[in-house]
Amino acid sequence: MSRPRKSTHIREKLISEGTELLKLKGYHGTGIKEILDRVNVPKGSFYNFFESKEKYVAEIIENYNMEVLKEVDTFIEKSSRNPLEKIINAYSYVIKEIEKTGLTGCLVGNLAAELGDSSKECLFQMKNGVKLWKSRFVSLFQEAQEKNLLRKDISAENMADIFWNSWQGGLLRMKIEGNTEQLEMILDKLLNTLFRN
Amino acid sequence: MSRPRKSTHIREKLISEGTELLKLKGYHGTGIKEILDRVNVPKGSFYNFFESKEKYVAEIIENYNMEVLKEVDTFIEKSSRNPLEKIINAYSYVIKEIEKTGLTGCLVGNLAAELGDSSKECLFQMKNGVKLWKSRFVSLFQEAQEKNLLRKDISAENMADIFWNSWQGGLLRMKIEGNTEQLEMILDKLLNTLFRN
């Protein structure tokens, strides 16, 4: 097996360190210098890897979307056969992960709040993030409706959207209130009461 | 009537211009210099008015909370007698305002996403913003339950929280997708279907 090139390795480290810092400090609060220092790369070499900060962050979002999708797919695959339980299990796992790793929230949501439409490159990737998430979850909600687990007077797409939106708001509450109570409440009240048949 | 002192007037302008810029560009993206230029105040005099950027932004959030509360109270007062219609009317009005004035979202939500708990002063005011909003809306949801307009198997507080959370997520979608479709969907599906009796 050939060893990966050193530059590929540095590029990957810049992406992963950047992801963490962006989650924590946002777009404008994250300095390129801080990331370079962390990865131990000399100042000035950043532009050998990325054309601009904007393109760098857009690539970070793209990478984040793919990671999330991969995790979701693995989880859905190995989890219970019941589509509703798949959703509940996946998000209960997310809450546990958040409690373990820190209350930083969702990269797409955070950057959307901060950047709005000020960066076309990032916006494209944020939009794609929502689309990819929906590509998995609308089907699960639909399957749960077909199995009579969920009500049918609202569409599976609307359910998925309300779930995504509430969750993002719940992540803001988590940041404001310093706990995951709202996330747990959302998971319970939407999936066990409001969406139920 | 005595004229307000010039410094009070400048202070107020710093607050109102700062609110607009913060909504648009976030905490780190908003430079003190840009605000001073807008208000036509010489650089360096900022600290005659505010101790630090953090305390300045905390005061902006406090002021924003009060403005929102005042608007909500006026709206609730003059609106229909039906508590459910009060909520629907208030938020339909918000959607119209957003469409008129621009898709900048909610200052509290935006700053929560960007700052997390990195600023104690701001966090206190964000927490207070949610509390003040809830102080009005939990009562409306409760009243609507008492009048049998809304279901009673989930608490009025949970309803208000789900509504706030969904709305904040809907504001993110608005930023990402460039339209208010999600906000309209939330208002309709939560209040006319999911929360209904």
Q: Give pLDDT tens digits for B93-135.
A: 999 999 998 778 889 999 999 988 889 999 999 999 999 999 9
Alpha helices in A1-52 (DSSP H): 6-29, 32-39, 46-49
Distance CA A64, CA A42 (A): 25
The whole-angstrom separation of Cα A158 and Cα A163 is 8
- Assess contact for B48 and B27: CB atoms under 8 A: no
Nearest CA to B35 out of B21, B49, B45, B55 is that of B21
8 Å CB contact of A169 and B173: no
What is the pLDDT, as a whole number, of residue A190? 98
Tens of pLDDT along B136-146?
A: 999 999 999 99
A2 pLDDT band (50/70/90 cuts)?
A: low
Contact partners, residue B1, CB within 8 Å, separation at least 6: none
- What is the DSSP code (8-state) at residue A84? H
- pLDDT for residue B169 is more than 90: yes
State residue A6's pLDDT score: 75
Nearest to B182 among A24, A165, A167 (CB): A165
All residues at 6 or more sequence positions from A105 whose CB lies less than 8 Å from its CB, including other chains = A23, A171, A172, A174, A175, B113, B116
Q: Quick check: B164 and B133 in contact, CB under 8 A?
A: yes
* 8 A C-beta contact, residue B137 and residue B156: no
Report the chain A residue with the minimal C-alpha distance to residue B120: A176
Q: Span A53-194: which CATH code?
A: 1.10.357.10
Q: Please, which pLDDT band fits residue A104 given cuts at 50, 70 and 90?
A: confident
Confidence of residue B81 (pLDDT cuts 50, 70, 90): confident
pLDDT in tens, B13-33: 999 999 999 988 899 989 999
Contacts of A91 in chain B (CB under 8 A): none
Say if residue A25's pLDDT is above 90.
Answer: no
ipTM: 0.93
Contact A24 B190 (CB under 8 A): no
Is A116 within 8 Å of B130 when comparing Cβ atoms?
A: no
Question: Which DSSP state fits B150?
Answer: B
Q: Across residues B156-160, what is the average pLDDT? A: 98
Contacts of A120 in chain B (CB under 8 A): none
Per-residue model confidence (pLDDT) at position B53:
95
User: Is residue A10 within 8 Å of A41, Cβ to Cβ?
Assistant: yes
Residue A178: its chain B contacts at CB < 8 A? 117
Coil, helix or strand at residue A151: coil
- pLDDT 10s digits, A114-161: 988 889 999 999 999 999 999 999 999 999 999 999 999 999 999 999
Q: Over the Cα atoms of chain A, what is R_g?
A: 19
Query: CB under 8 Å to A147, separation ≥6 — which residues?
Result: A82, A83, A84
Whether the pLDDT of residue A3 is over 70: the answer is no
Q: Which of residues 115-144 of B touch A (CB under 8 A)?
A: 115-118, 123, 126-127, 130
Distance CA B70, CA B64 (A): 10
Residues of B in contact with A176 (CB under 8 A): 108, 112, 123, 126-127, 130
C-alpha distances out from residue A44 to A12, A37, A61, A124, B146, Å? 17, 11, 23, 27, 65
Q: Which helix (H) or strand (E) holds B151?
A: none
Which position has the higher pLDDT, A29 or A183?
A183
- Helix (H/G/I), strand (E/B), else coil: B52: coil
Q: CB distance A105–B127 less than 8 Å?
A: no
Instruction: Note the pLDDT of residue B183.
Output: 97
Prediction pTM value: 0.93
pLDDT of residue B27: 93
Q: Tokens at residue A190, please?
A: 């939407």
Is residue A181 within 8 A of residue B177, CB to CB? The reply is no
How confident is the model at residue B25, as a pLDDT?
87
Predicted confidence (pLDDT) at residue A29 exceeds the cutoff of 60: yes
pLDDT band of A4, cuts 50, 70, 90: low
In chain B, where are the structural domains located? 54-194
- Give one word for B44, left, alpha or beta, with left for phi > 0 and alpha for psi -120 to 50: left
Residue A1, pLDDT score: 52
**B54-194: which CATH topology?**
Tetracycline Repressor; domain 2 (1.10.357)
Neighboring chain A residues of B190 at a CB cutoff of 8 Å = 162
Give yes or no for a contact between A56 and A18, defined as CB atoms under 8 angstroms apart.
yes
- Closest Cβ opposite residue A178 in set B26, B113, B117: B117
